[in-house]
A and B are shown apart, each in its own frame.
Chain A
Amino acid sequence: MQKKRNNNLLVAAPFLAPSMIGFLVIAAIPFALSFAISFTSWSGIKGLHILTADFWQNNFVGIDNYAKILKSNEFWVSLLHVGYYMILYIPLMLVTSLAIAMLLNKPRKGTAFFRLLFYIPVLTSWVAGAIIWKWVLDPQYGILNDILARIGISGPAWLQDRNWAMVGIVLASVWKDMGFYGLIFLGGLKNINAQYYEAAQLDGAGKMQSFWKITLPMLTPMVFFVLIISLINSFMLFPQVMIMTNAGPAGATQVIVERIYKYGFSYYKMGYASALSWLLFLIVFLFTYLQQRLQKKWVNYDV
């Protein structure tokens, strides 16, 4: 038995090798390196001779970076900003993408066209998307404030106002992501057996009842998947912030990944940036683990 298993491994290894080597070079080695670097004061503008004793003598700082981060106000404020983003973004994104999925699920003329329309933002690069949104949210010349003005609301300065900048980023993010998550929900909707609805109708259930009692429970695996993915993505919030506000105004949209980038590539503190990345990893890991544990309570896999 033991012998056979080894044999399988021997055969499997070379087949795995091509992608494993890619993983090692592109992901695992950098992971390990960044972990090692996180215990140093390496600046990033000097050759990284990580295997020499000299390097460690000059740069080793123990857990100083981690301690400094946890003691710094900035780290917690950045986390708070990410939390604020999630509270706004995740519910809004869930509702809009589910709505899109429901709309596209009904067979009508031009569904394919609309499906494409909703998916275009997903394919658009963030750089282009963020620039479009900067214009949409312009306090004076922007289309959003123009629409608001027509219905008698004087819109805020969005990205230039510290209370509204994050809301602006949330709007852009929902626009960008709803097509993708909508498509996932659409797949889930298509999988629901029509007999359930027929049975419900016979029993006199209305549309709302069918939605709450059939559609939503049957979609829970999708909702779970979307929640995990969007939660992880929220922690990684970065390109839209860099382009739309560059962490401003007055630091109101400072977030973790933006901090990692700035520390690594602008402040020349690669060690500190690496420690930040590992803390971020821990947080994401923790959240994912918690969600996995909690899913048994509400996710329904018997389709």
Chain B
Amino acid sequence: MKKTLALILVICMALATFGCAAQPATPAATEAPAAATAAVAETTAAPITIDFMNFSANEGGLLTLGIMKDLFEKENPNITVNIETFGYDTYSTQLQTRVGGGDAPDCFELGLDSFPSYVDQSAILPLGDLMAKSATDLSVLTEKSRDAFSINGTAYGMPYSYSTVVLIYNKDLFDQAGIAYPTNDWTWADADAAALKIKALGDDYYGLIQPISTYEFFKVVKQYGGSLLNDDNTAFTVNRSENVVALQRLCDNVLVSNICPSVEQRGSLDEWGVFKLGKTGMIVTGIWAFPSFTTDCAFNWDIAVEPGAVTKATHYFANGLCVSADSKNSEAAYKWIEFLATSEQVAQLRVQLGWELPCATYQSAMDQYALLTPPANRQAVFDSLQYVVPVPQIAQFSQMADILGAQLDAAANGTKSPQQALDDAQAELESAITLG
């Protein structure tokens, strides 16, 4: 009797536990009917829900993105957009886990640096067919931005927003030192000379903050006629003589003239933090610093196009919108990202909120942007776009950035000569990364 009772109990418990274990499997079982309804949706406009993952709404943009979603859903009553927003720090891990786990969102935002990796792994859908079917005029998007999200002539992403890097300067310090403000045709020689005079204002003054990192360096070498990769991105050319000259100047500014604060001199303050103290003449940084500088700088500041050397080169960072290769609602997902990229209302909303610039060139939005101050010389943002160089389009960019970054650190703190650091970087990159 006892035995049978125990046995019954055992069976009950086992069933209960397996019942629990079986639950997660049910969504998989219903997947097939879901796909069927999606197919029907095209013809009868049955409700579709698409998942959209992004990071750029994270800093104060949630409400605005909500307004954009409402606008879109009003135009497309059968589509519901489910927005998931993550902070930039965790975004790539979140997205990768979702995609790798076979649960990719229908569409998502990608930065230019991680974009080639996703294309390389065929994780995102080529947009050619969907673009051809669409009636929307895509010429409102700048050619540069469309090129940025194409690889070998195939479009993989809708350009969403972009930003660039400019020279921001402390007007008060320039006045105090009695020197003329930077202009768009300054070279580094002009900037360094001005920086020396500003440094002479006092012991804890610095002339210029220019980061020595991979993200900065790939652009600076272009100003010297160099490059980190060959033309078709099949070989590293990190230790080219032009690159060494570029790095030599950056290091000398820290170690010899010290117009640039060293990492030790900065301590736990970041570059922005040092500039905000008001004792640094100039800083080379992104236009996304404007809101923060507007609130935190107790001095007058303005901007100019970044100085160059042999030639000019400026940054072009962009975020694009992609459709997952696994999406079952790719058409609806495409509609949504196309709307975000090309709608005039969206462009205006972005500018109103001081979000990064829209890639769509609506005069109304641009006019609005140019009116915001500081900086007074907002035109320099647009002028910078004449000289942009893209982020190297290789799938292993992130690893490359870390390897080169460590060697640049070593050169910047004087443990290696620029030549040695770049030779070592070249060797390490060649052994760690297979290009092509």
Contact = CB atoms under 8 A, between A and B. Distances in A.
A45 B102 CA distance: 9
A21 interface: yes
A48 B327 CA distance: 15
A160 B17 contact: no
B123 A249 contact: no
B413 A250 contact: yes
B121 A266 contact: no
Contacts of A268: 96, 117, 121, 395-396, 398
Given A43-B117, A138-B267, A249-B413, A14 B17 contact: yes
A21 B266 CA distance: 51
Q: How large is the interface on B (under 10, 10 to 19, 20 to 34, 35 or more residues)?
A: 35 or more
Pick the most buried of A17, A74, A247, A268: most chain B CB atoms within 10 A of its CB. Answer: A268
B267 A162 contact: no
B431 to A, nearest CB: 8
B260 to A, nearest CB: 15
Contact of A160 (B96, B264, B431): B264
Given A138-B267, A142-B268, A251-B406, A270 B100 contact: yes
- A interface majority secondary structure: loop
A47 B413 contact: no
Contact of B409 (A15, A47, A138, A248): A248
Pick the most buried of B263, B264, B267: most chain A CB atoms within 10 A of its CB. Answer: B267
A49 B325 CA distance: 15
Contacts of B10: 10-11, 13-14
B410 interface: yes
Interface in B180-219: none
Q: How large is the interface on A (under 10, 10 to 19, 20 to 34, 35 or more residues)?
A: 35 or more
Interface in B372-430: 395-396, 398-399, 402, 405-407, 409-410, 413, 415
Nearest to A140: B267
Contacts of A113: none
B415 A46 contact: no
A127 to B, nearest CB: 11
A36 to B, nearest CB: 14
Contacts of B51: none
Interface in A1-17: 10-11, 13-15, 17
Interface string A1-45: 000000000110111011001000100000000000000000111
Contacts of A249: 263, 409, 413
B20 A21 contact: yes
B96 A44 contact: yes
8 contacts: A10-B10, A15-B13, A48-B101, A134-B268, A266-B402, A267-B402, A268-B121, A268-B398
Given A43-B117, A157-B267, 5 more contacts: A11-B6, A21-B17, A44-B100, A45-B118, A139-B267
